[in-house]
Structure 1
């Protein structure tokens, strides 16, 4: 029998205490998975619509019958798992800076873990996504058709100060070097569409859009929304 509340993992990381816990909803007995970093809630399996839409909208903008996809931020795995539902995806690399998060999926602790690690297209990579994007691609590196990013709360609210340079014209231009000529960059944000960031996207990408994703919020009894930015090189 599963307990009403379980702490599945706790680890000290370079960004603070990281906790994965599982609880049973007292009204429905649904199992809910939650991640906390220090005292801050990072994500919950109660709210996965926008994470899934990040993959759906990003891949919808991509051209070609074979797609190489990079996901920045593994988390609970819903963005990566949704990307695998697109049959055009032939390679899915997922980068996370925290070995603990990768370990959760390798131990199949989360609802989509088995789907992710059991798919031969998936590679889980322990690295700093932001550092990878700063690097100049080597001649032997294969560029990505799609890059999906879900790490920070928004371009103006980062989990770590070292992430901030990505959300500048220079940072976005550096990221674009890792994309194919018609590649797509898609970003999740907890904030409403931001005109300043849209302008930055326009300085690097030819097409860009901000999609507002609305979903039911059982905690408030109302609705909530996130933003998914999609930018394309033409």
Structure 2
């Protein structure tokens, strides 16, 4: 008999104690995968609509038939795998600061892991996404057609203080240098649309939108929502 709760991995990381667990919902028998950092729930496979929509909206705004995509934050992998579902994607590089998270997928502990790691277009890279985009790209460094970012809770609620500068005009300007002309930056946020941040985004990118993504939340018996920001480099 399968246990209702199973701890799949537990690691001490620079950000704190990180746990990946699987639990089975009573009644439906559905397996839910959850990530906790200390006592805080970071993500759950129960709610992946907005993460998937982030990839869909970002790629929908991109022009071209051979797209190079950069994903900041691997997590449970739903954003990356959704991006791979677009046949125009030529390459997909995913940066995550935690090797343990990359290891989960390499060990195929999560439902989407096989689709992610077995696709020849995928490259998983352990690095600090924020440090990478903060630096000007070298002349021979790759530029991307789409950058998808899902690390912090929102521009105002970051997991680390060092992330905050990305959400300023200078930070977004530095990130934009890693995009090709007409490239797309897409950001997930757990908060409602933030007018001040949207104005900052619009000061850097030529065309911007803040999409509200609604999804059913059976835990509350209602509807929850996230925000997906999209900006296109001129």
TM-score (normalised: structure 2) = 0.99
1:165-217 residue CA offsets vs partner (Å, 9 max, x unmatched): 00000000000000001100000000000000011011100000000000000
Superposed, 1:55-204 pairs within 5 Å as 55-204=55-204
> SS of 1:56's equivalent?
helix
1:19-70 residue CA offsets vs partner (Å, 9 max, x unmatched): 0000000110000000001110000000000000000000000000100000
| 2:17 matched residue in structure 1 | 17
> SS of 2:154's equivalent?
coil
| 1:8 matched residue in structure 2 | 8
> SS of 1:214's equivalent?
strand
| 2:44 matched residue in structure 1 | 44
Mapped to 1, the partners of 2:33 and 2:156 lie a distance apart of 26
> SS of 1:198's equivalent?
helix
**Which ranges in structure 1 are unaligned for 5 or more consecutive residues?**
none
Mapped to 1, the partners of 2:5 and 2:41 lie a distance apart of 16
Following TM superposition, the consecutive aligned residue runs of length 4 or more in structure 1 with deviations greater than 2 angstroms are none
* Deviation for aligned residue 1:2: 2.7
**Which ranges in structure 2 are unaligned for 5 or more consecutive residues?**
none
* C-alpha RMSD of the superposition: 0.6
TM-score (normalised: structure 1) = 0.99
* Deviation for aligned residue 1:135: 1.1
| 1:27 matched residue in structure 2 | 27
Alignment: residue pair count: 234
